[in-house]
Structure 1
């Protein structure tokens, strides 16, 4: 049972600039307990204080927590939480420079990975197979479901037209329309990609369409808002730069191997298969890598000394600045000095910087994710999620947390019950999923 959208009669908060009352509307209207805050400041606070954000501390980004550096020291690699915080910092500053509300962009960046299941994309693939009969699984669609349904903050009473029965239904964090839209990378349901119907990327499940239609009112079909584009680029920048940084600190990446030889070809082949169109010339990727290698701050070697760590940190800062300034300059060149928000502009990222970013992703992929030890670990993780999913479904509602047990028992069909099990698993940290799998009969 989903709540029906309610029209907001008044704007909550004093928002300057080009954001309208419709942008700041909430699915269920509510008074502001502390006047003086903007609607988007409230949104940011709700995501920051959410349990879902805290759980990201227990979800691996690329390098496993505790992995030592070259000298065996603990380098504290990124988790999904620290990645989200860094993405938020990058997105907030870039968005503000282009005229977006900084709290709005930061909210979207903090929220963009909330729906990722245990073990990241590896767990995502297993859950997608398990969810074949109920609409599939996608981390971005799960993020929207979490923001609008699962994370308990606001409830509303809904009457079922067929029976006249009423019930309290969660509307999640009840964020503003603009915040939900800004957090939506793929504004379409499964199979409705505007140019590639076979794409596995989508942003909403079928039973979450009511709130999706509400948040997309007035939006051009299939188009992401400007704030979502800023969030998406900030995400690319943060994880491409920091995944390489973590790989270097952990000793998995030898920067000398990028200068010449077969390793470079493997990096380019990886980029062509995953991060750029397959027909992208290897020569263009080589030029992108060589531009980075030619920079005076590029870390041609790394050690775990204080000076070595400082050099690496400076290189990361230089890369982030390079990518963000390129996007800011190119966008300003097209649109001038106007304040850019919602559907008034498109973020312009020069192709050269997109290629450089893609090469960095491929470097981390080739040297960190494709390690033999990681391949074995991913296989073990897939078994954990697969066995856990089958066991929980077979024993449900036993074994489900109270929230998900209620969702399971309240579901009207097998698809809804399976979705409740998926919601339970997606909410777990890596360790919690592993621990539960160990207790399976």
Structure 2
């Protein structure tokens, strides 16, 4: 055994074996350090979460969240929830820090635009890109193949950490419940390391730590996107009391965030439960007192969502360490609906603003034109790491994938700067 309670040697195995340079650290502590010190994590500081960084001069003081701050907050939520349920806290924190590493510039809008660009080589998905980055792209460890080629193996994390960071453990079109879903976790050319990672896994079931990471992600972004929307002045809390606004909100929640078949009545009950809480930020006006009340509301919401999941999971599985494939995370339906309503609030009042659609159109053009310019010029225009990969590629699909990898690595600002340089 490896000395980590609840985890066997297979869980702490690495794709490429390597010695531990510092005795006394666990394998998962090493994994956490590798993600925390990675360039990919730092780049998330320049990638949009929901409200674009420095979107307007009036918002300079609101400090909206980026992908980096979201990942750090998700990690704090996941570490505590995972520890309460018996997971190794460093393992869950690693997964939470890593879960968004593959997201491209411009948030989900950039993800959709890159998927169109990447159709000839298998498409693009942020979660599949995260696995690719962790196991291939991020420069940390290299190995020599049987034919003498030196190739990167990314951060060379343990099997358990890679598995915990994988929300969708299946290839494109193989979603177990919705085959048409755009969500998937691996590209075909990354299948060898994916299949190694999933050795011993029961089918397409997610490990327990990945479920904790996924719920922590939902909790963090649903609560904090609401907070950012209020800070930026995009949401008047009083709108949530008006019937026409509520009807629109429940339509968004039912279509995008709530379990299939959820009624508007259930969503209304979920919203009203939140509005009836003494800590709900009614009448938010941006004053210091209002900001403090809003911060208390975010704490209350996070505690509510996590404690209810912890309670329900313990009721289902009892005491003891819940790890890997020994349990399923149980989140009560009422709590899932409350979370879904909060997601819909951010969607309706932040992401669906008229000016946002104009911005998204421009961003999609930037991604498409940038891809076209790089495909025509490559390896010129690519960073040295990607230029070398482009020259070593054996066919057009591989070369396109390298271009996509390059674009996905960019921040919002660097994508705009590179597009300006290549297309002016």
TM-score by length of 1: 0.94
Looking at structure 2, the residues matched to 53 and 184 of structure 1 have their Cα atoms a distance apart, in angstroms, of: 16
What are the superposed Cα offsets for residues 301-342 of structure 1, whole Å, 9 maximum, x if unpaired?
A: 112222111100000000000000000000000111121000
Looking at structure 1, the residues matched to 393 and 62 of structure 2 have their Cα atoms a distance apart, in angstroms, of: 45
Q: Which runs of 5+ in 1 are unaligned?
A: 1-10, 160-164
Query: Which residue does the alignment assign to 1:126?
Result: 113
Contact kept in structure 1, 2:219 and 2:305, CA below 8 Å: yes
Contact kept in structure 2, 1:67 and 1:250, CA below 8 Å: no
Looking at structure 1, the residues matched to 62 and 3 of structure 2 have their Cα atoms a distance apart, in angstroms, of: 42
Closer, same or farther: CA 365–314 of 1 in aligned 2, 3 Å: same
Q: How does 1:311-330 map to 2 (within 5 A)?
A: 311-330=293-312
Contact kept in structure 2, 1:331 and 1:349, CA below 8 Å: yes
3-state SS in 2 of match to 1:202:
coil
Contact kept in structure 2, 1:108 and 1:180, CA below 8 Å: yes
1:264 equivalent to 2:246? Answer yes
What are the superposed Cα offsets for residues 205-254 of structure 1, whole Å, 9 maximum, x if unpaired?
A: 00000000000000011110000000000000000000000000111010
Looking at structure 2, the residues matched to 250 and 286 of structure 1 have their Cα atoms a distance apart, in angstroms, of: 25
Of 51, 58, 62, the match for 1:75 = 62
Looking at structure 2, the residues matched to 412 and 430 of structure 1 have their Cα atoms a distance apart, in angstroms, of: 30
Q: Which moved more, 1:276-285 or 1:394-403?
A: 276-285
1:274 equivalent to 2:256? Answer yes
Q: Which runs of 5+ in 2 are unaligned?
A: none
Query: Which residue does the alignment assign to 1:49?
Result: 37
Looking at structure 2, the residues matched to 264 and 434 of structure 1 have their Cα atoms a distance apart, in angstroms, of: 37
Query: Which residue does the alignment assign to 2:133?
Result: 146
Q: CA deviation at 1:412?
A: 1.0
- Deviant stretches of 4+, over 6 Å: none
Looking at structure 2, the residues matched to 106 and 48 of structure 1 have their Cα atoms a distance apart, in angstroms, of: 10
- The alignment of Structure 1 onto Structure 2 pairs a total of residues equal to 423
Looking at structure 2, the residues matched to 152 and 110 of structure 1 have their Cα atoms a distance apart, in angstroms, of: 17
Of 364, 372, 381, the match for 1:382 = 364
Q: Which moved more, 1:105-114 or 1:397-406?
A: 397-406
Of 75, 83, 99, the match for 1:88 = 75
Contact kept in structure 2, 1:105 and 1:182, CA below 8 Å: yes
Contact kept in structure 1, 2:4 and 2:26, CA below 8 Å: no
Q: How does 1:167-182 map to 2 (within 5 A)?
A: 167-182=149-164
Looking at structure 1, the residues matched to 411 and 290 of structure 2 have their Cα atoms a distance apart, in angstroms, of: 33
Looking at structure 2, the residues matched to 105 and 201 of structure 1 have their Cα atoms a distance apart, in angstroms, of: 21
1:234 equivalent to 2:216? Answer yes
Q: How does 1:218-257 map to 2 (within 5 A)?
A: 218-257=200-239
TM-score by length of 2: 0.98
Q: CA deviation at 1:100?
A: 0.1
Q: CA deviation at 1:195?
A: 2.2
Superposed CA RMSD: 1.2
Of 335, 338, 346, the match for 1:364 = 346
